[in-house]
């Protein structure tokens, strides 16, 4: 089948030494962006249909059919949520090898399977299908806790002082993630001079990505190394002083002006380890990484073939129009490494973000008159390349935040999907954060799929920058679903927490984690809330659908992969105020417990 590798081809690739090429441009990924079968709102997951031959041999037998089965059973008769088409709730799951052999009551399992091993979950705990996540892991130098510029600089200083390898090597580039200037009292962009004022930081290359991943804050040395700079750049912004000199912040496409060093496999494996361990601790078994370049794609593929991926990964090849069209020179890869690596998707970033005030709007930002944001990829390019990628067998995922950007995206999809089987193509709008009612209806008629790694706090914090009327179209989940679109949930980590429990809580309450919203404790536009079942499906089977894996993943059904999560509480019944106390007791992939214990 096109895009699939034979075992011989996989072995050849694994044995071949392929060093990563030097990186001469900025990495376009929030590291290891994971997608947990949960996308965060609407906008990260629709795809094209391929078979998954690696799951079974030609006779249709499980690779481990001779493995001894075991049963995981809840203390309650309704403690297992299968998320099948009937939303069946039962008591036990029977696992054989890598697959689910059966589900049913404890009496049914005992009468059918006799003397097998039983693993009983603690009283009050529940078993659900695995979750998906979109994630970028910058945990090595997190900056979210900084409440002002001074605190952010101090975090960078302490990171350098506390790592002997970094402190002793002034040529090493310092990377960090998570600064949020929108909450800082200075009410200005940070500058290179702010970093260089510290004697430990001065003279080092520093590149710090903002919390929304749409801006770099760099040091003076980094400015010097990457000079000279243009006065302006299409689809981006270079923050400048009164004399027109760059001050140290580069927004959206301007980030590409900052070169990154070559990563070794050890560097990448260290970042990947953070991501995989965090994901498993939150019950995440599949990750969608949304902005990968060719070298990163090759790295993940090699790790999968070597058996080093702990979670399944669904990679998206980042589209850079300056590098040209690649859909006819590359082929999708489906299910390499026993189903742990798939790369059949393309990510196009249409506009910027709300935090950076670069998402493309029909009207000015309420707090920034004259600014309507901008497109990072023009409407004309969208209409040109989307049908080409679909023609060549790729799923297309388009990042759209602002209402005007999403209008362009919907128009491009309308033109591209004329005469195309939408179920086969499954294009996705990632985020679909602000949409007009008309565009929501147009998307619904297409049978579109919206995903977003979202968290209510982000929407609440920046809501009123959009103005009192436009904000009604922000994260309008109920309208989007009622119009006929399919929603996948997730976290857009590290922009927000990767914890799917936080995502479910936000989806059903429209509140921040501490119970607040701009509209009070009743929730922010509460008529747009999702039900618990809709949220659960958004993190599981609907997210699997977005990655073309709903026939093998996303629900606890006979013949599917035995990926499941044991939670300390029943998130479908526990009082809302107690939901965030839910813990992951165990995470299993292919029937093996890889986090916690049963």
Q: What is the mean pLDDT of residues 418-435?
A: 89
The CB-side HSE value for 552 (13 A sphere, CA atoms) comes to: 23
Looking at residue 513, its pLDDT comes to: 82
Segment holding 14, helix H or strand E = helix 7-15
* C-beta of residue 314 within 8 angstroms of C-beta of residue 346: no
Spatial separation of the C-alpha atoms in residues 52 and 416, rounded to whole Å = 27
* pLDDT at position 463 over 50: no
Q: What is the mean pLDDT of residues 266-278?
A: 87
* pLDDT at position 315 over 90: yes
* C-beta of residue 310 within 8 angstroms of C-beta of residue 340: no
Q: What is the mean pLDDT of residues 546-551?
A: 95
Give 381's contacts (C-beta < 8 A, 6+ positions apart).
Answer: 321
Spatial separation of the C-alpha atoms in residues 456 and 452, rounded to whole Å = 11
Neighbour order of strands in the sheet with 92-96 = 99-104, 92-96, 70-73, 117-120
* pLDDT at position 186 over 50: yes
% of the chain with per-residue pLDDT over 70:
82
Rounded alpha-carbon distances, angstroms, from residue 268 to 34, 137, 138, 382:
15, 11, 12, 32
Helix (H, G, I), strand (E, B) or coil at 284: strand
Spatial separation of the C-alpha atoms in residues 145 and 183, rounded to whole Å = 11
Tokens 């003076």 map to which residue? 220
At 89-108, the pLDDT tens digits run 999 999 999 999 999 999 99
Looking at residue 233, its pLDDT comes to: 94
Q: What is the mean pLDDT of residues 370-393?
A: 95
Rounded alpha-carbon distances, angstroms, from residue 341 to 197, 397, 472, 564:
44, 18, 39, 18
Q: What is the mean pLDDT of residues 117-126?
A: 93
Helical spans, DSSP H, in 306-378: 336-339
Looking at residue 471, its pLDDT comes to: 61
* pLDDT at position 265 over 50: yes
Spatial separation of the C-alpha atoms in residues 343 and 20, rounded to whole Å = 18
Rounded alpha-carbon distances, angstroms, from residue 99 to 80, 144, 195, 291, 586:
16, 40, 52, 31, 17
Arithmetic mean of pLDDT over the chain: 83
Taken in order of first residue, the domains within the chain and their CATH numbers are: 149-257 (3.10.310.70)
At 188-218, the pLDDT tens digits run 999 999 999 999 999 999 999 998 888 999 9
* pLDDT at position 452 over 90: no
Helix (H, G, I), strand (E, B) or coil at 505: helix
- Nearest Cα neighbor of 170 from 204, 206, 201 is 204
Looking at residue 57, its pLDDT comes to: 30
Looking at residue 495, its pLDDT comes to: 66
Strand partners, 135: none
- Nearest Cα neighbor of 296 from 280, 312, 318 is 318
Spatial separation of the C-alpha atoms in residues 526 and 477, rounded to whole Å = 10
In 352-426, where do the E strands start and end? 395-400
133: pLDDT confidence band, cut at 50, 70 and 90? low
Spatial separation of the C-alpha atoms in residues 392 and 417, rounded to whole Å = 14
Looking at residue 519, its pLDDT comes to: 80
Give 315's contacts (C-beta < 8 A, 6+ positions apart).
Answer: 288, 289, 292, 296, 297, 300, 341, 342, 343, 345
Q: What is the mean pLDDT of residues 454-475?
A: 48
Q: What is the mean pLDDT of residues 547-564?
A: 96
Q: What is the mean pLDDT of residues 228-250?
A: 95
Lowest-confidence segment of 315-329, 400-414, 451-465 by average pLDDT: 451-465
Looking at residue 453, its pLDDT comes to: 41
Give 29's contacts (C-beta < 8 A, 6+ positions apart).
Answer: 136, 289, 290, 291, 292, 293, 296, 318
Rounded alpha-carbon distances, angstroms, from residue 71 to 64, 105, 120, 121, 225:
16, 11, 8, 10, 59
Q: What is the mean pLDDT of residues 385-413?
A: 95
At 15-63, the pLDDT tens digits run 333 332 223 333 333 332 222 222 222 222 222 222 222 222 323 334 4
Q: How much is the CA Rg of the chain, to the nearest whole Å?
A: 23
Lowest-confidence segment of 72-86, 110-124, 449-463, 497-511 by average pLDDT: 449-463
* C-beta of residue 250 within 8 angstroms of C-beta of residue 216: yes
Looking at residue 115, its pLDDT comes to: 86
Q: What is the mean pLDDT of residues 137-145?
A: 76
Spatial separation of the C-alpha atoms in residues 87 and 95, rounded to whole Å = 20
Segment holding 589, helix H or strand E = strand 584-589
* C-beta of residue 307 within 8 angstroms of C-beta of residue 337: yes
């Amino acid at each position: 089948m096109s895009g699939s590798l034979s075992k011989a081809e996989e072995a050849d690739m694994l044995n071949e030494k392929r060093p990563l090429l030097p990186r001469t441009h900025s990495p376009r990924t929030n590291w290891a962006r994971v997608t947990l079968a949960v996308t965060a709102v609407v906008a990260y997951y629709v795809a094209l249909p391929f078979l998954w031959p690696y799951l079974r041999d030609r006779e249709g037998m499980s690779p481990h059919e001779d493995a001894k089965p075991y049963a995981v059973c809840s203390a309650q008769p309704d403690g297992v949520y299968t998320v099948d088409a009937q939303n069946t709730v039962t008591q036990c799951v029977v696992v054989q090898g890598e697959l689910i052999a059966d589900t049913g009551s404890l009496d049914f399992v005992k009468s059918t399977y006799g003397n097998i091993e039983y693993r009983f979950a603690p009283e009050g705990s529940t078993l659900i299908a695995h979750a998906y996540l979109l994630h970028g892991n910058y945990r090595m130098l997190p900056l979210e806790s900084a409440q002002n510029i001074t605190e952010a600089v101090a975090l960078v200083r302490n990171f350098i002082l506390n790592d002997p390898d970094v402190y002793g090597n002034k040529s090493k580039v310092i990377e960090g993630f998570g600064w949020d200037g929108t909450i800082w009292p200075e009410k200005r962009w940070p500058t290179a001079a702010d970093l260089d004022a510290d004697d430990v930081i001065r003279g080092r290359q520093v590149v710090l990505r903002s919390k929304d991943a749409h801006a770099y804050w760099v040091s003076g040395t980094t400015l010097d190394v990457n000079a000279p700079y243009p006065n302006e750049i299409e689809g981006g912004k270079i923050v400048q002083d009164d004399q027109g000199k760059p001050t140290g912040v580069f927004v959206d496409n301007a980030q590409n002006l900052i070169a990154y060093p070559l990563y070794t496999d050890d560097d990448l494996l260290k970042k990947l380890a953070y991501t995989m361990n965090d994901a498993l601790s939150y019950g995440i078994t599949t990750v969608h990484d949304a902005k990968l370049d060719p070298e990163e794609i090759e790295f993940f593929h090699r790790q999968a073939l070597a058996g080093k991926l702990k979670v399944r990964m669904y990679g998206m090849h980042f589209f850079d129009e300056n590098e040209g069209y690649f859909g006819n020179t590359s082929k999708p890869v489906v299910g390499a490494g026993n189903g742990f690596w798939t790369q059949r998707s393309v990510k196009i970033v249409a506009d910027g973000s709300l935090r950076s005030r670069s998402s493309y709007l029909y009207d000015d930002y309420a707090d920034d008159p004259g600014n309507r944001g901008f497109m990072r990829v023009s409407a004309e390019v969208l209409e040109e390349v989307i049908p080409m990628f679909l023609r060549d067998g790729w799923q297309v995922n388009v990042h759209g935040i602002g209402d005007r950007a999403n209008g362009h995206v919907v128009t491009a999809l309308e033109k591209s999907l004329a005469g195309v089987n939408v179920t086969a193509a499954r294009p996705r709008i990632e985020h679909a954060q602000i949409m007009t009612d008309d565009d929501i209806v147009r998307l619904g008629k297409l049978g579109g799929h919206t995903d977003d790694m979202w968290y209510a706090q982000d929407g609440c914090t920046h809501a009123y920058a959009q103005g009192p009327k436009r904000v009604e179209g922000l994260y309008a989940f109920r309208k989007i679903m009622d119009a006929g679109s399919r929603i996948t949930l997730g976290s857009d980590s590290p922009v927000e927490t990767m914890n799917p429990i936080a995502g479910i809580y936000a989806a059903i309450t429209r509140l921040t984690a501490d119970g607040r919203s701009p509209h009070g404790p009743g929730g922010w536009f509460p008529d747009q809330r999702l039900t618990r079942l809709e949220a659960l499906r958004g993190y599981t089977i609907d997210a699997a659908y977005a990655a073309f894996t709903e026939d093998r993943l996303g629900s606890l059904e006979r013949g599917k992969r035995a990926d499941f999560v044991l939670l300390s509480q029943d998130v479908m019944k526990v009082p809302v105020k107690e939901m965030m106390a839910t813990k992951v007791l165990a995470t299993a992939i292919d029937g093996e417990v890889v986090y916690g214990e049963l």
